[in-house]
Amino acid sequence: MRFLPLIWSNILRKKARSVLTLLSILVAFLLYGYLCAVERALDQGVSLAGADRLLVRHRVSIGQVLPQSYLRRIAGIPGVRHVSHATWFGGIYRDPKNFFAQMAVMPEQYLHIYPEYLLPEAQREAWFRTRTGAIVGRRTAERFGWKVGDRIPLQATVWPKKGGEFHWEFDIVGIYDAADPGTDTTNFLLHYDYLDETRQYGRGLVGWYMVRVRDPKAAADVARRIDEEFRNAPTETKSETEGAFLAGWARQIGDITAIIAGILSAVFFTILLVAWNTMAQSVRERTEEWGVMKSMGFSNERVMMLVLGESCFLAVLGGCLGLATAWVMISRGDPTGGALPMFYFPRRDVFSGIAWALGLGLAAGILPAAEAMRLQIAEALRRT
Amino acid sequence: MSAVLGTSGERALVCVRGVDKVFRRGDEVLRILHGLDLEVGRGEFLALMGPSGSGKSTLLNLIGGLDRPTRGEIMIGGERIDRLADRKLAEWRGRHVGLVFQFYNLLPVLSAQRNVELPLLLTPLARARRRRQAAIALSMVGLSHRVNHYPRQLSGGEQQRVGIARAIVTDPTLLLCDEPTGDLDRKSGDEILGLLQALNRDHGKTIIMVTHDPHASARATRVVHLDKGQLSAEATA
Ligand SMILES: Nc1ncnc2c1ncn2[C@@H]1O[C@H](COP(=O)(O)OP(=O)(O)OP(=O)(O)O)[C@@H](O)[C@H]1O
Ligand SMILES: [Mg+2]
């Protein structure tokens, strides 16, 4: 600790060089932080999917609908704890750019299946009561500045009203929060009953079923039983755990993750060379000074620690500034305007970023430090 | 021989015996010191003279524990420093030796005050104590008004005073000066010599000073000559 001012003075020796090195490290860690958030956002659904939840969809495609009458039959299958359904509404709020998911659901059942959606009691009740009522996640509410009591117009793309009108309006009766940072708080949830009674066609059809099983370990068995139940029915089903459902999505994401890892490796390698070069130059131009310091009693090990201290200080300072900048940019929210609903900077990645910075400092400093350590005093002083 | 071995009766602080120093430069073998003996008593101010390349700096480095002899013993204050391991030797230097260089060798990024404080970083002293001790050392060399100046803002003579303050701040047993006035004009050089003399006389510091300048060696209490690897007493002493 007592050597910190000395280390700092030496970093200030060539201000321009230190600032440039610091900036390159900063940019590298800004990129690191940002890409971590992107990767996490892509990865989110997969890692946080409830292991006790099944999605039951049309055997052929998620875009196809299922009869509402399946609800009762699924509920009767052994191992099923709760079942409900959801239907994609797909409305546009003012501009197609303002994308967010809207689903028509059975409010009470839905909240049983997704306990991670937190809603004050009064708002729950209000939602259950109000036919045109909808709840919306905190992020989307903040994005558009919506408050409870607002009336939101949506332009239908899938479901026109009876009489062919495409203009729908919903009353915001609640704003939900997430029990954990991985939960999506961008959804807009409306009453299925209201949709079903008001839409021109498609009566009695739903998008998919969500099932919560009694025992997560038996989820695959329950899925098989459900599909068995509807074998040879006019509409066959395909049931899978939420995790498996998202796994297809995840495989594509896997490629993106590999690209991100590749980019980051290249960036870190470059930055290592930059920092190393800075340290090597800085150590070499101080040959006599190391000699003088050793002559007054600084041991070889201490000199080595001072060099490493300098490079780690530079790397961690640059790294922290970069991570902080990334934090600020990330907390401004999803850069795609809706495609990455869970865009945040996980704490875990912040800490591993700092660890990377420290590792960078050590790697960049180790050879110059060894060189300074090996310097013979008499030799170093003769170079005057 | 008696002149080289020092004032009789006094227990020698520095005791160099049968020292050889050989450098290898490629295939070339340079025998700089051979069978060299020297004793310096506590409280002496010794001037070490000799032609350029005779090995004066080399000998000073050996006495200061900056380098090791090829053969022979170097005993200082009763301790065989040629036998100390690297880390112990560094520690020993920190406690017992103050060095003053021809080109001052201050750290350009540190103020006068912090340059003087530098050796104290290796002691357990707290910050306030270190600052006070550095301030005292700077006042002893008459530089109390320049503590916050950086080396480039100081004249050569002033920089050398900072160098001396840095050398004495740990209160070392031995002050080793390699041509301390070699880079200074006559007036500044005289001031530096006066300072060294005062440190020797009033504070009892043992000083070994390498110099080319007879004017400088005249301030010493004893003068020895190094030539062809051996020492001899001043002819005109
Ligand atoms: N590390 C070394 N490797 C090779 N030769 C060296 C080394 N150190 C010193 N020498 C040689 O040893 C001789 C003595 O050097 P030294 O610096 O001790 O001389 P000096 O008496 O101090 O001379 P000057 O008065 O010019 O300072 C010189 O010839 C020098 O080239
Ligand atoms: Mg010399």
Taking the Cβ of residue B110 and every Cβ of chain A, the question of whether any pair is shorter than 8 Å is answered with: yes
> In angstroms, what is the span from residue B17 Cα to ligand 1's centroid?
20
> Using an 8 Å Cβ cutoff, are A118 and A179 in contact?
yes
Task: Compute the distance between CA of residue B96 and CA of residue B84 in angstroms, rounded to an integer.
Answer: 14
Taking the Cβ of residue B118 and every Cβ of chain A, the question of whether any pair is shorter than 8 Å is answered with: yes
Cross-chain CB nearest to A295 (options B93, B114, B121): B93
Give, for A241, the enclosing helix (H) or strand (E). strand A237-241
What pTM value is reported for the model? 0.72
The ranges assigned to domains in chain A are: 4-44+254-382, 60-235
Task: Compute the distance between CA of residue B201 and CA of residue A152 in angstroms, rounded to an integer.
Answer: 95
Residue A341 — very low, low, confident or very high, per pLDDT cuts 50/70/90? low
Task: Compute the distance between CA of residue B49 and CA of residue B215 in angstroms, rounded to an integer.
Answer: 12
Measured between CA atoms, the residue of chain B closest to residue A290 is: B107
All domains of chain B, ordered by start, with CATH? 44-65+91-235 (3.40.50.300)
Which ligand has the shortest distance to the CA of B177? 2
Q: Is the pLDDT of residue A336 over 70?
A: no
Q: Is the pLDDT of residue B162 over 70?
A: yes
> In angstroms, what is the span from residue B55 Cα to ligand 1's centroid?
5
- ipTM rounded to 2 decimals: 0.93
Centre a 10 Å sphere on the Cβ of residue A234 and count the other Cβ atoms it contains.
Answer: 6
Mean pLDDT, to the nearest integer, of A309-321? 97
Residue A346 — very low, low, confident or very high, per pLDDT cuts 50/70/90? confident
Contact A377 B61 (CB under 8 A): yes
Measured between CA atoms, the residue of chain B closest to residue A14 is: B109
The residue of A8, A287, A296 whose CB has the most chain B CBs within 10 angstroms, and thus the best one to mutate to test that interface, is A296
Q: Does ligand 1 come within 6 angstroms of the Cβ of B23?
A: yes
Nearest 5°: CA angle at A329, between A325 and A330? 115
Q: Is the pLDDT of residue A337 over 80?
A: no
Residue A48 — very low, low, confident or very high, per pLDDT cuts 50/70/90? very low
> In angstroms, what is the span from residue A36 Cα to ligand 1's centroid?
58
Atom of ligand 1 nearest to the CA of B54: 21
Contact B127 A2 (CB under 8 A): yes
Task: Compute the distance between CA of residue B114 and CA of residue B138 in angstroms, rounded to an integer.
Answer: 11
Q: Does ligand 1 come within 6 angstroms of the Cβ of B61?
A: no
Kindly give the pairing relationship between strand A133-137 and strand A188-191: antiparallel
Measured between CA atoms, the residue of chain A closest to residue B126 is: A2
Residue A248 confidence (pLDDT):
58
Cross-chain CB nearest to B66 (options A5, A12, A295): A295
Buried b (16+ CB within 10 A) or exposed e, B81-103: bbebeeeebbbbbbebbbbbbbb
> In angstroms, what is the span from residue B55 Cα to ligand 2's centroid?
7
Mean pLDDT, to the nearest integer, of B57-80? 95
CB < 8 Å to B70, chain A: none
Q: Is the pLDDT of residue B158 over 70?
A: yes
CA-based torsion, A301, B207, B41, B136: positive or negative? negative
Task: Compute the distance between CA of residue A230 and CA of residue A218 in angstroms, rounded to an integer.
Answer: 19
Taking the Cβ of residue B145 and every Cβ of chain A, the question of whether any pair is shorter than 8 Å is answered with: no
Q: Which of B36, B48, B56 to mutate to test the pocket of ligand 1 (most atoms within 8 A of CB)?
A: B56
Cross-strand pairs, A381: none
Looking at CA atoms only, how far is residue A278 from chain B in angstroms?
A: 17
Residue B210 — very low, low, confident or very high, per pLDDT cuts 50/70/90? very high
How many residues in total does chain B contain? 237
Mean pLDDT, to the nearest integer, of A281-308? 96
Contact B103 A384 (CB under 8 A): yes
Q: Does ligand 1 come within 6 angstroms of the Cβ of B55?
A: yes
Encode pLDDT of B76-94 as tens digits: 999 999 999 999 999 999 9
Q: Is the pLDDT of residue B236 over 60?
A: no
Tell me what the pLDDT averaged over chain A comes to.
Answer: 89
Ligand 1 atom 9: residue of nearest CA = B58
Looking at CA atoms only, how far is residue A381 from chain B in angstroms?
A: 9
User: B216: buried, middle or exposed (CB in 10 Å: 19+, 13-18, 0-12)?
Assistant: buried
Mean pLDDT, to the nearest integer, of A205-213? 92
Q: Does ligand 1 come within 6 angstroms of the Cβ of B87?
A: no
Percentage of chain A surpassing pLDDT 70?
91
Q: Which residue has the tokens 């340059």?
A: B115
Looking at CA atoms only, how far is residue B233 from chain A in angstroms?
A: 26
Contact A299 B110 (CB under 8 A): no
Ligand 1 atom 1: residue of nearest CA = A379
Encode pLDDT of A177-186 as tens digits: 988 777 889 9
Residues contacting residue B109 through CB under 8 Å, at least 6 positions apart: A9, A10, A12, A13, B150
Q: Does ligand 1 come within 6 angstroms of the Cβ of B113?
A: no
Q: Does ligand 1 come within 6 angstroms of the Cβ of B33?
A: no
